[in-house]
Structure 1
Amino acid sequence: MGRSTEPADFGAVIRGARCSARLTQAQLGARCGYSASAISRIEANKLRLEYSAMLRICEVLAIPPGRMRGSTVPDGAAVATVTISGPSDEEDAVRRRELMTGVLAAGATAVVGTGSASAASLSGDPTAGLEDALFRLPDAEPVALPLLITRTAAARRAFRAAHYEVLGHALPGLLATAAATRDAATGRARQQASAVLARVYVLTSELASKQHVDAAWVAADRALSAARESGTPVPVGEASRVLAITMRRSGRWSSAVRFLSGEAAELDAAEQRAAAVRTTLLLTAAYSAATGGDRSTALALLDEAEGDVERLPDVPGLFTVEATRAQVDVYRIGALNALGTPDEGVKVAAGLNIASMPTPERRARAWTDIARMNHALGDGPQTFAALRRVEQEAPQEARRPALRALASDLLYGPARVPGLREFAVRTGVVAA
């Protein structure tokens, strides 16, 4: 049996310290970058933490780190592993964008399709209802393939615009409709419907991963199964990428690198779309290697991806991530952060043209990596400036658990940063 460095009842230690500090589960979660339900699972020993995440919680609750060492517990069958990374004109712009998101929600829901009544409300957790839907899809009737493609394209636009509440509300119904359409089809039509279903599962896994929800693994596995049934290389590559992300998040970074390298080798580098997907697999493999501290592999994969994009013409239409020089630079900054050498990313960041990136979701991701770089370098004001840019690009990105954890680190750090507390209130780090 595997072993953990957690004490036999780490959850009880957390629960006792939280109660002594007179914090609710929601308040502790806000400070550490988790939801209240995640804290509940941690306290019930149903959600296993990596060491860095345990340290963060212990720091918030003033628990001596030594209490985590020296004891072992058997691995549990249903336990997941997660890691925490981590009124001006600008604020008015953010509020206008949030208002526009609400206006778009009605139209996007009409195009994408509605979820079940118990799924995420447009003002709540964007992943509420996803886990239930994955294990028991709502009842749905098959639709014509062109209509299914149209609805999936609308869901993709919601993801790329970082309208996660709209997307989360729509996904349960869209998953059910896509599955019903695939099941009712035969021959070539079934292969085409399988490719669409795979991409709906890719969106589900992407959204769940952003919110640190365990359902990401289930969705990614189903995405790959549907993609393989389609017999189309590009959806297989896209599904492989999200599955590898879930592998990395569970601590299996070396398995993720091997898996992605094998899948990349299967793609035809002479075909433009396949070559572009191959590049995104190399980038994800590079970041996975970096999280495991394998510097030589990470940098070699980044260099290979950079060489690919120099040879590739602009290829639009990749599902959730583009194969561009800007993307390579963003992944390089993220990998250098993960390797513990953020200073090496400063020059890369200085030459990065974030405005050229095509979607709010990708621009927000670039600013996130720059925020992490500046935080690791101890520059609080520049970290906060980058977080503000995340919020400007995509307000719902700024409310992700990893971003809330980073804002919490700044808020409870030694330096006082003007405007930070107001940002923390807006993004749910602290109560108003």
Structure 2
Amino acid sequence: MSPSLGLLVRSARVAHGWTQRDLANRLHCSRSTISRLETGAQPLDDVATIRRLAEVLEITPTALGITATVTIHPPAEDDVRRRQLLTGLAVTAAAASAPARAAVAAAAGPETNPREYLLARIRDAMLGTGHPNQPIQAPQLPSALNAAIRDYDNCQYSRLADALPRLISSGHSAGETASSVLAETYTLVTRIMIKLDDQLGWVAADRARTLAAASGIPLVAGEAARNLAVLARRAGLHIQAAQIALGMAEDEMLQGRDPTLTAERGLLVMSAAYTAAHAGDRSGMRQLTEQAAATAAQLGRGVLLRDHGGGFSPTAVQLHLISAEYAAGDPSAAIAAARKLTPRSLPTLERRARYFTDIARAYGMWGRRNQCLQALLHAERAAPQETHSRPAVRDLVTSLLVSGRTSPELRGLAARCGIP
């Protein structure tokens, strides 16, 4: 699919006020497929699929390069048609986007759909749209950030929907004096966007890294780089993701005997290990994980940098190993790693929810439907807003619904996750 056709699809989607996942649900495909279509990375040659795409987006098939008789328009005519339609859609999207976002946030509400409400509030704050937020005075910004981190650790999305927009707008208003707080705020936003599978994570990560460099604080810079590496990995840029993580771990600013610097290096090595798992390099994943485990053992059993996504410790490395083994394609090894942990040993509610979700994903890959469902229900009991909001959970629940016999427990979970 050409970049111009991809832009056409994206513009039509935005004009409807849909996310990539909204369009994917209507086409019964994955969000990543829509992303590849919009960037031109995936060709679209099937006529039936093109017609279905045109139908859902409410545009003519000719705009996507086919006619009623399935003949291709001359290139020049196609280009003219696309340019005209793109212009119209761009105008429509620009005119409709602000009220559409407000409508989504208002319709969703913090309790009925915390994910959409949180995303809508953060988008407005980052884009400078929506209603002004109540300002936070500069001296109170650090304590407000700490409170937001606690809300993240406790999976309180509805509270974050109020706290993060205020931190963003107030941090920018405070200027250079708040660069480190604002960098950490954007790092937290990036972490949330990664979890919720929203593309605005790239913008937040770029802002976090720029502000972190300006602050000159090693731990802030390390976390900004780690989140950027996660985004690169999720985009399939495995080599670049490993370079970002390991390059930062070796950076001069993170060297020294300070335990927190050592812990940050350990977190970056764990990120590189997870990237190796996604790249299919199981040996590399295990070698890097062993390196992180040795570092954690040297530091002792306590948790360091708890505010950095749950922190670094031997327990954190073991939790990482569950998802790494799953990503490397070995669900039995993932379950074996999980059995070496107990949920109460994990430092935050968010980490406990991740533990159960990772177990569910491993059981799902293994084809053990009942164990997968039970793990998801444990995750829901631990952190309902987190579980109902995560696309990874929704994908698992959808897979269970279509792959075999359903149960009242499964249908109830699907309903609570907003899956029809």
The residue aligned with 1:150 is 143
1:388 aligns with 2:377: yes
Match of 1:309 among 277, 296, 299: 296
- Look up the equivalent residue of 2:207 and give its one-letter code: R
Match of 2:281 among 276, 290, 294: 294
The residue aligned with 2:312 is 323
The answer as to whether partners of 1:364 and 1:393 remain within 8 angstroms in 2 is yes
Q: What is the distance in 2 between the residues matched to 1:360 and 1:394?
A: 7
Change (3 A) 1:369 1:44: closer
Q: What is the distance in 2 between the residues matched to 1:217 and 1:273?
A: 26
Q: What is the distance in 2 between the residues matched to 1:350 and 1:402?
A: 22
Q: What is the distance in 2 between the residues matched to 1:299 and 1:219?
A: 30
1:350 aligns with 2:336: no
Normalised to the residue count of structure 2, the TM-score between the two structures is 0.73
The answer as to whether partners of 2:135 and 2:166 remain within 8 angstroms in 1 is no
The answer as to whether partners of 2:137 and 2:170 remain within 8 angstroms in 1 is no
- Look up the equivalent residue of 1:153 and give its one-letter code: N
Measured against aligned partners, the alpha-carbon deviations of 1:341-379 in whole angstroms (never above 9, x if no partner) come to 112222211111221112111110111111111111111
Q: What is the distance in 2 between the residues matched to 1:211 and 1:166?
A: 16
After superposition, where does 1:280-291 map in structure 2 within 5 Å?
Answer: 280-291=267-278
The residue aligned with 1:54 is none
Q: What is the distance in 2 between the residues matched to 1:337 and 1:348?
A: 10
The residue aligned with 1:194 is 179
1:421 aligns with 2:411: yes
1:175 aligns with 2:189: no
- Look up the equivalent residue of 1:420 and give its one-letter code: L
Q: What is the distance in 1 between the residues matched to 2:36 and 2:250?
A: 42
Match of 1:215 among 200, 217, 222: 200
Match of 1:411 among 378, 381, 401: 401
1:160 deviates by: 0.8
Change (3 A) 1:412 1:255: same
1:225 deviates by: 0.9
Change (3 A) 1:361 1:49: farther
- Look up the equivalent residue of 2:328 and give its one-letter code: L
Q: What is the distance in 2 between the residues matched to 1:405 and 1:173?
A: 32
After superposition, where does 1:134-149 map in structure 2 within 5 Å?
Answer: 134-136=126-128, 144-149=137-142
Change (3 A) 1:133 1:44: farther
Query: How many aligned residue pairs are there?
Result: 341
1:253 aligns with 2:250: no
1:393 deviates by: 1.1
1:316 deviates by: 5.0
Percent identical pairs in the alignment equals 32
- Look up the equivalent residue of 1:279 and give its one-letter code: G
Measured against aligned partners, the alpha-carbon deviations of 1:146-199 in whole angstroms (never above 9, x if no partner) come to 30111111111111111123213332221010111134xxxxxx2xx2111111
**3-state secondary structure, aligned to 1:214:** coil
**3-state secondary structure, aligned to 1:419:** helix
Q: What is the distance in 1 between the residues matched to 2:415 and 2:282?
A: 37
1:133 deviates by: 2.6
Change (3 A) 1:397 1:11: farther
The answer as to whether partners of 1:141 and 1:181 remain within 8 angstroms in 2 is no
After superposition, where does 1:84-163 map in structure 2 within 5 Å?
Answer: 120=105, 121-123=109-111, 124=113, 125=116, 126-136=118-128, 144-163=137-156
The residue aligned with 2:221 is 236
The residue aligned with 2:67 is none
Coordinate RMSD, CA, aligned = 3.3
The residue aligned with 1:270 is 257
- Which segment drifts farther, 209-218 or 291-300? 291-300
Normalised to the residue count of structure 1, the TM-score between the two structures is 0.71
1:43 deviates by: 9.7
The residue aligned with 1:28 is 25
Q: What is the distance in 2 between the residues matched to 1:10 and 1:385?
A: 41
1:361 aligns with 2:312: no
Q: What is the distance in 1 between the residues matched to 2:126 and 2:270?
A: 28
- Look up the equivalent residue of 2:292 and give its one-letter code: A
Gaps of 5+ in 1: 16-23, 52-57, 62-115, 184-189
Q: What is the distance in 2 between the residues matched to 1:169 and 1:338?
A: 34
**3-state secondary structure, aligned to 1:127:** helix
Q: What is the distance in 1 between the residues matched to 2:396 and 2:274?
A: 19
Q: What is the distance in 1 between the residues matched to 2:134 and 2:22?
A: 40
1:143 deviates by: 5.4
1:122 deviates by: 1.7
After superposition, where does 1:11-26 map in structure 2 within 5 Å?
Answer: none
1:279 aligns with 2:271: no
- Rg larger for: 2
Change (3 A) 1:216 1:416: same
Q: What is the distance in 2 between the residues matched to 1:327 and 1:30?
A: 38
